[in-house]
Every structure is written in structure tokens, then in C-alpha cells.
Copies of this chain bind each other. A is one copy, B any other.
């Protein structure tokens, strides 16, 4: 079976899930923690080398503050949770902003936890325009390797993106690393994650070809 090297995760649908249960929207985020850990463990078992979670974006922080506080807390908890695992962990996002939680500053340099088996990237206060803007600030001569011109240069090309919650769009997720990614969408909301979703996505990916634009 052809296993992706790097999977991107868009864990969408927390608010719609909460709505559907008659809960307030912000309660949905807390329910995303357990799926995040389960998914990490599945990736480790299967031998996936790198995993990137879409935490929250600079755009997201324009939401009502009750929600902003809730998803920020969920991201802090998720990163701390992953730091208890065999992860080589990096939090990536715009730290020059009050919206970046200071609790996560220590994770903005990659650090190895446990056996450090799986490379894990967690996007926090990430913005695609911010990410690309590094090239304008400090243009390099390496025009053939765009990934090195990004703030997110330590995050490699993504083979498979899995998005929960039914929307078929990238919503600003790492535009450069996603140019050749296969994109699999699961209709269920992220808090309703099951391992079946993950294995379905892998089975689908296994049937795709790789052309890298060629």
C-alpha cells in the first residue's frame, strides 16, 4: 500500500457539530481534542512521517471573542497533549500578534518529545498571506525552491489533505505545500471522527497516481 509521507488535517465542523447537539458553538472545540490524539496515534502506527494540523488562522480571530478564546484554549491543550507523545513538534504561526497564545511560544522552535517519531506541525494564528510575505521581506535567490522562502519552510510538501465537515476548499491552508496535494473530504464533523474515516482516506489515496504536475 502506498502510504502518504505527509498528511494535512483540516478539522472542520466543530461549531456545526455543537449546533446540531443544541450546545453553544464554543463548546464544539473542546470535542476536537480526543480525535486529534486518536489521529496522531493512527498515523504513528501506520508509519506516516509528518502530520500538520490546521489549528486556527489570523482570519479566524475576527470571530466573536467567546469563540476565539475557546479555539485558542483547545489549540493550547492539543499542543500540550501532543507533547506527551512521540512527536517532533512545531507550532507555526504569526507570533507578532496578541492573538498568538504566549503559552505556545516555547513550541515555536521544533522540539522532540518522547521518541520524537512523528513530525507534527500545528498551525496557530497562521495566515497564508503572512506565510508568503517572507519572500517579500527577505527575497532569496532560490527561485526553484519556494518552500524555503516561507515562514513555514520547515513544513514539507503535503501528499494528502483530509478535511472533515464536508467543505471542499483549502481555506488558506499552506498554499505552497498544498499545490500538488490530493484532497479528501469527509462529510462528518471533526468531533465525530472515527478511525474508519482515516482508513477510507488512505484507501482512496492508495488508488491515486502521483504526477507532481508532470
A–B Cβ pairs within 8 angstroms, 5 of them: A128-B146, A128-B179, A136-B149, A170-B178, A175-B175
Q: A129-B144, A140-B136, A214-B62 are in contact. Are A171 and B179 (CB under 8 A)?
A: yes
Q: Which of A23-31, A33-41, A69-77, A181-189 contacts B (4 or more CB under 8 A)?
A: A181-189
Of the candidates B63, B129, B171, the one whose C-beta lies within 8 Å of that of A143 is B129
A211 surroundings in chain B (CB, below 8 A)? 171
A59 interfacial by beta-carbon distance below 8 Å: yes
B168 touches A183 (CB 8 A): yes
Q: A129-B144, A169-B181, A172-B179 are in contact. Are A60 and B139 (CB under 8 A)?
A: no
Cα–Cα distance between A144 and B136 once the two chains are bound (Å): 12
Q: A169-B181, A171-B180 are in contact. Are A213 and B143 (CB under 8 A)?
A: no
A137 interfacial by beta-carbon distance below 8 Å: yes
Task: Known pairs A59-B212, A133-B146, A170-B181; list 9 more (Cβ under 8 Å).
Answer: A129-B143, A129-B144, A132-B146, A135-B136, A169-B182, A169-B183, A170-B180, A175-B176, A175-B178
